[in-house]
Amino acid sequence: MDTHTFFFHLLLILIISRLLAELAARFHMPTVIGELAAGVLLGPSLLGWIEPTKTIQLLAEVGIILLLFKVGIETDIRRLINAGRQSLIVALGGFLMPLVSGFALGYWVFGLSGLVSLFIGGTLTATSIGITIRVLSDLNRQHEKEGEIVLGAAVIDDVMGVVLLAILYEFSVSGGVSVMNISKVMTFILLFFILAPVAAKLISVLIRRFDDYSSAPGLIPIMIISLVLFFAWLAHVVGAPELLGGFAAGLALSRRFFLPFGVALHSDRKFAGRIEVQMNPIVYIFSPIFFVTVGLSLSLREIDWSSPFIWTFALSFFFVAVLAKFAGAMLIQAHFLQRVAIGLAMVPRGEVGLIFAELGRSTGIFNVEVYAGMVIVITLTTLLSPFALKWFYAHHCEHLKNPGGDCEPNSPVI
Amino acid sequence: MDTHTFFFHLLLILIISRLLAELAARFHMPTVIGELAAGVLLGPSLLGWIEPTKTIQLLAEVGIILLLFKVGIETDIRRLINAGRQSLIVALGGFLMPLVSGFALGYWVFGLSGLVSLFIGGTLTATSIGITIRVLSDLNRQHEKEGEIVLGAAVIDDVMGVVLLAILYEFSVSGGVSVMNISKVMTFILLFFILAPVAAKLISVLIRRFDDYSSAPGLIPIMIISLVLFFAWLAHVVGAPELLGGFAAGLALSRRFFLPFGVALHSDRKFAGRIEVQMNPIVYIFSPIFFVTVGLSLSLREIDWSSPFIWTFALSFFFVAVLAKFAGAMLIQAHFLQRVAIGLAMVPRGEVGLIFAELGRSTGIFNVEVYAGMVIVITLTTLLSPFALKWFYAHHCEHLKNPGGDCEPNSPVI
């Protein structure tokens, strides 16, 4: 790609996503819808001006790890741990229900093979952590109780998704699965989750000290981005999703992070504030690229819209996809409305679902029709649930708000 | 390239360039040397860990246009125009002298063909605007009189370089040159230079107004980056180097920009301050990628270091390359020491010289030995002149400083 073409594509991505996001806000829609719509508009689905090239995809990946970094830095780790048990239930329920019901619907109702049905079930387990968190943040609900449960559940869901993807891939290639490998990966991921924030915190203390001696400006953004990239890379090395590295680094740098040994480390609020001020513009530039790229990747033009089978197929799985995530949320003990909100927030499949569907297509397990059906399911869950969640909060805010909470959403945070 | 490999390469680029830059500063060397050295170290010349892939190169291009944007925003346009006549002389002298003497040395002394000698002359005309400006900024001299002359000369030099490159390319392909085409391109570039800052200023006023109504944060970095990308793209469309689009956008947003009509536009210092605070972290992240990529592109391993011819050839052209730029600077009326400083600042060929040499190689005009010789010349001019300039200022500061100027360079600005 020529430099000027790249500049022009980047320009279109930034400016159109911003315009549509502002427009969405004017019509009281979640702004993330504007960014996803920009991708659908500019991409192969409609205008075909921009292909999701390798460079754009890599920038989008930087966008999602930086977004998770920002989510991490704003998270109160104690409250996240407190919500842990309920998050685990929501994640497990919202993982097993779609897997089982997706498989059942594919195998018994549509008469697909076991492997195809398994991949469909896998595609339906996905939760788009980026879109879920962004919608809650657009609604200013990310620090409420259900926001914390959803954040924890989305993180756990992402780990389970990666493990399942590895299992399905191994199974489709070799026909069998090594329990040894899986438990090794699970152990590594668990260790990563316990050790990474501690290590990131220690490194950040070094950066803090080094900052006083540095002879050139720009130390903070460069070192923090390096830290985020390092933990994203490390997450991949241990077998975890890269974006969880960004989340771990963010958690470590949050104002409310505490180390079991070393109380002195957690009180440097001024430094944490400087990190946020300097990192925010970088996050604002990269994160829309991620949401636009999700929109770019939805190749809606390839779908034969006139086929009745596609519609029956897609709508059946869409209902299963929504109901199964709700079923997961219903397993916890909370106010009914909170459980509905959590269920709605877990619905968007987004980029994680697309990765499953893409693996299904590239390995030849999904034929054109099944793939098209899955793309429709992913599109519907991704685009409809932000609307549903916003509508739900607007109509049930009085029953959901915490003491001191505000019913009118403030300006969104991310 | 895998996502995690890209993350790891980006991490290495950011962290190693920062470490070597800090190390350079400790030993009183220009910090840009650290970033260039990081590229040489990580790239094909030494360790071979990182190739300058397309994605890295595109990010480097974003880095250089953002750097020029930052230079533009810190520039006083009135002082730049005042220095204009002298800049023009330095640029013309520093362009024609290397072209003629490089051609002469190649054609008459080394007995090369006319076309090869012409390409060698072309390679020697280059001035690396990025390295030149960065070194002056490392020394905190960019706002002194000679800094402004050099800035103007480097900009004019870059325009002439692009036009020459187009001529040489046309000549090497078709054997002739259309004067019509050249004058058309020159007219477009001139028009761009007059109109772009005015247009950018008008757009920035719109952004300023829109900022009050925006419903999501991050408007300023997204709109300013979009503005920079737009003018970089527009510069390419009219035939000018892309980085000049970044410079034009920066000039328009500088605190001291004035419009012939509309005095009211130039007084919004608070907005200009907000732009700088939010854009700086983004510039700090991208600009080292540019300097590292220049280092990555110097493929010093391919050179046969034991060949005496290479050394005779390279050192002869190196002396011509240095002396010819000095000769250009000697044409203006200024203190002798100022003229030496200007001459030294114009010496680095950097990425612009590499583009010429690469065109020579890819069209088959340069054989391996001539190409290797040119790479040595470019490397020497790029790496030695920052040292020479720093040493020169340290020893002659008393005679060079403006009233109120400071002999000890402060912390560098970029």
pLDDT tens series, chain B, 414 aa: 788 999 999 999 999 999 999 998 888 777 888 888 999 999 988 898 998 899 999 999 999 899 888 888 877 777 778 888 899 999 999 899 999 999 999 999 999 998 899 999 999 998 888 888 888 888 888 778 888 888 888 888 888 887 888 788 777 777 777 777 778 778 888 888 888 888 888 888 888 888 777 777 888 899 999 999 999 999 888 888 888 888 888 888 876 666 555 444 555 677 778 888 899 999 999 999 998 998 898 878 878 788 888 889 999 999 999 999 999 889 988 888 889 999 999 999 887 888 888 888 878 888 888 988 998 999 899 888 888 888 888 888 766 665 545 555 444 434
Q: How far is C-alpha A92 from the chain's CA centre?
A: 17
CA distance A159 to chain B (A): 17
Give domain status of residue B168, yes or no: yes
Give domain status of residue A405, yes or no: no
Give domain status of residue B317, yes or no: yes
B30 part of contact set with chain A, CB < 8 Å? no
Cross-chain Cβ contact B233/A4 below 8 Å: yes
The complex's ipTM works out to 0.85
B223 part of contact set with chain A, CB < 8 Å? yes
CA-nearest residue to A278 within chain B is B281
Cross-chain Cβ contact A21/B58 below 8 Å: no
Give domain status of residue A261, yes or no: yes
Q: How many domains are there within chain A?
A: 1
- A345 touches A136 (CB < 8 A): yes
- A68 touches A250 (CB < 8 A): yes
Residue A242 has pLDDT above 90, yes or no: no
pLDDT tens by residue, A119-176: 999 999 988 888 888 888 888 887 788 888 888 888 888 888 878 887 887 777 777 7
Cross-chain Cβ contact A217/B10 below 8 Å: no
CA A184, CA A163: separation in Å to the nearest integer? 11
Cross-chain Cβ contact A279/B281 below 8 Å: yes
Cross-chain Cβ contact A412/B236 below 8 Å: no
Cross-chain Cβ contact B281/A229 below 8 Å: no
Which CATH number belongs to the domain containing residue B316 in this structure? 1.20.1530.20
A408 part of contact set with chain B, CB < 8 Å? no
Cα–Cα distances (Å) from A140 to A362, A406, B253, in that order, read 39, 9, 33
- A293 touches A354 (CB < 8 A): no
pLDDT score for A412: 43
* The two three-digit tokens of residue A203, written as one number: 């490194």
CA distance A99 to chain B (A): 27
Instruction: Supply the range of the domain harboring residue A345.
Output: 3-400
Give domain status of residue A133, yes or no: yes
CA B38, CA B60: separation in Å to the nearest integer? 14
Q: DSSP letter string over B96-152?
A: HHHHHHHHHIIIIIS---HHHHHHHHHHHH---HHHHHHHHHHTT-TTSHHHHHHHH
Give domain status of residue B62, yes or no: no
Give domain status of residue B332, yes or no: yes
CA distance B228 to chain A (A): 9
CA-nearest residue to B16 within chain A is A226
- A149 touches A339 (CB < 8 A): no
Cross-chain Cβ contact B4/A233 below 8 Å: yes
Residues 155-214 of B with CB under 8 A from A: 214
CA B1, CA B19: separation in Å to the nearest integer? 26
CA B60, CA B55: separation in Å to the nearest integer? 9
CA A357, CA B161: separation in Å to the nearest integer? 49
- The Cβ of residue A288 has, within 10 Å, a number of other Cβ atoms equal to 29
Cross-chain Cβ contact A225/B14 below 8 Å: yes
A23 part of contact set with chain B, CB < 8 Å? no
Give domain status of residue B308, yes or no: yes
- Sign, Cα dihedral of B11, B23, B349, B139: positive
Radius of gyration of chain A (CA): 21
Residues 345-374 of B with CB under 8 A from A: none
Residues 234-263 of B with CB under 8 A from A: 236-237, 242
